[in-house]
Amino acid sequence: MTVFIVGGTGFIGKNTIESLLNRGINIKVFVRNQEKYEKILSSMKVKSLYSKIEPIYGDIFLPETYIKKLENIDAIINLVGIIREYPKKDITFEKAHYEITKTLVDVSLKLGIKRFIQMSALGASIKSKSNYMKTKYRAERYVIESTEEWTILRPSIVIGKDGEFTKMISNMIKAGIVPIPGDGNYKIKPISVTTLANFISFAVTSKETIKKEYNLVGPKEYTYNEFIDAFAKAIGKRNYIKIYIPIWLIRVSSAILGNLSPITKEQLELLLQGSTYEFDDLKGIQIKNIPIEEELKNI
């Protein structure tokens, strides 16, 4: 089996590639950043698996630059996602979430590739206050309405080595000062990147996941305050203080500072809405739901 993975050089992508290879799946990975791709290869434990990965270069919005290299593909996995926009660089939620998805779905239809795995986000909705969530939802709908054998994955906050959110929290705790938006009592169920990657690779080969939507969260619910404490304990940091910042002040500062703000308006809304779905969607599936404390040992 051979899959084409887009977003494979990112945080979730590189973990997914390792999981796919462990299942004996061949991979064609879209490469935009050569340096990130080379880091993936250098981090692989079994170098003999190099032969199962083929880099695909081109412009993702111009299928003619890579479509001829996608012959004999059995599935497309779209993991592309951003949590911060850079409009001046033409990096927006609309382009990263919806337009790339539409392009890939259209490519799959042209080549007759039926299997399509789409990574969305927990809470994706057209009614959301967040443009992040709205564009994720619209991308979902295009996949569902256009492809034959789709699977939609909606993970909660993903924790793991090299994750942007993980690095941000780790750096604040190590510095000894952790800003807490509001009172910190909103609830989250973060998921381990290893758990998510293993489920993605399982979904590719499993017929039971076809035409299903999965809300993926970790095994334990935390308030944000409890999450910070658990994170600090896992990385061995005891001395730190929490500073509680009024929500209105964060909203004002993010509006003024834009992307210079430590937390954007979109990120704040995602945090405050909580991530507390159950993991019931995976009952009966033999994948370990790894506690984040175990995942954090890797950083």
- pLDDT band at residue 283, thresholds of 50, 70 and 90? low
Assigned domain for 134 exists = yes
pLDDT of 157 strictly over 80: yes
Residues 229-240 have pLDDT tens digits of 999 999 999 899
Which amino acid is residue 145, in one-letter code? E
pLDDT > 90 in the chain, percent: 62
pLDDT of 293 strictly over 70: yes
pLDDT of 250 strictly over 90: no
Residue indicated by tokens 């290893």 = 194
DSSP letter, residue 148: S
Assigned domain for 273 exists = no
Question: Max alpha carbon distance in the chain (Å)?
Answer: 57
Assigned domain for 98 exists = yes
The CATH number that applies at residue 110 is 3.40.50.720
Supply the range of the domain harboring residue 78.
2-158+193-217+278-290
- Contacts for 112 with CB less than 8 Å, ≥ 6 apart: none
Residues 80-95 have pLDDT tens digits of 998 888 888 888 999 9
Assigned domain for 24 exists = yes
Residues 37-73 have pLDDT tens digits of 777 777 766 666 677 889 999 999 999 999 999 989 9
Assigned domain for 249 exists = no
Measured between alpha carbons, how far is 23 from 18 in angstroms, rounded to an integer?
Answer: 9
Assigned domain for 254 exists = no
Assigned domain for 182 exists = no
Measured between alpha carbons, how far is 258 from 230 in angstroms, rounded to an integer?
Answer: 30
- The winner for highest mean pLDDT among 36-40, 98-102, 167-171 is 98-102
pLDDT of residue 32: 82
pTM over 0.85: yes
Within the chain, residue ranges assigned H as helices are 11-22, 34-43, 93, 100-111, 131-146, 164-175, 193-205, 224-234, 247-257, 265-272, 292-295
- Contacts for 290 with CB less than 8 Å, ≥ 6 apart: 192, 194, 195, 218, 219
How many distinct structural domains can be found in the chain?
A: 1
